[in-house]
Amino acid sequence: MSQFANMTEGLRFRIVLGPGIALGPGKADLLQAIDETASLTAAAARFSMSYKRGWTLVQELNAAFAEPLVETEKGGSGGGGGARLTPFGRLVLDRYRRMEADAGAAISTGIADLRRHLRKKRAAPAPKIARKARPAAK
């Protein structure tokens, strides 16, 4: 998954639920990765994100909604705690993914039409082959 919007073709679906409260592909992907790995550290690493950044996003989501989306547990003296989506977190993620799919389907014809009007990519020029120097004529 690319973290750069202009590297991903198609729709980048982001909803703003209120002032300063947004849910988009980055947070949804982080929630999904937490669900798959049961680890905030591993989930954040999938996106070359620091643990601190991942933790900040989880805190933002948990603070924004009426119920927490993610629960974490502290590890012992050697660390190793875990993270998991709550049932409400699963509901929010599933709803977001359905909305994302519905929006993508709604605009697919328009995207195909716009792509037909893009400039054709030029083929890269063939590499020049160095020729051996010919001996000078006498």
pLDDT truncated to tens, each residue of the chain (138 aa)? 444 545 567 788 999 999 999 999 999 999 999 999 999 999 999 999 999 999 999 999 999 999 999 999 876 445 567 999 999 999 999 999 999 999 999 999 999 999 999 998 877 777 777 666 666 666
Query: Rounded distance, CA 131 to CA 119, Å?
Result: 35
Show Cβ contacts of residue 65 under 8 Å, excluding neighbours closer than 6 positions. Answer: 88, 92
What local confidence, expressed as pLDDT, does residue 122 receive?
75
Query: Rounded distance, CA 4 to CA 26, Å?
Result: 10
What local confidence, expressed as pLDDT, does residue 1 receive?
42
Q: Which two tokens stand for residue 64?
A: 């924004």
Q: Nearest-CA neighbor of 36 among 26, 46, 27?
A: 46
Q: What is the pTM of this model?
A: 0.76
What domains are there in the chain, each with its CATH number?
Answer: 26-108 (1.10.10.10)
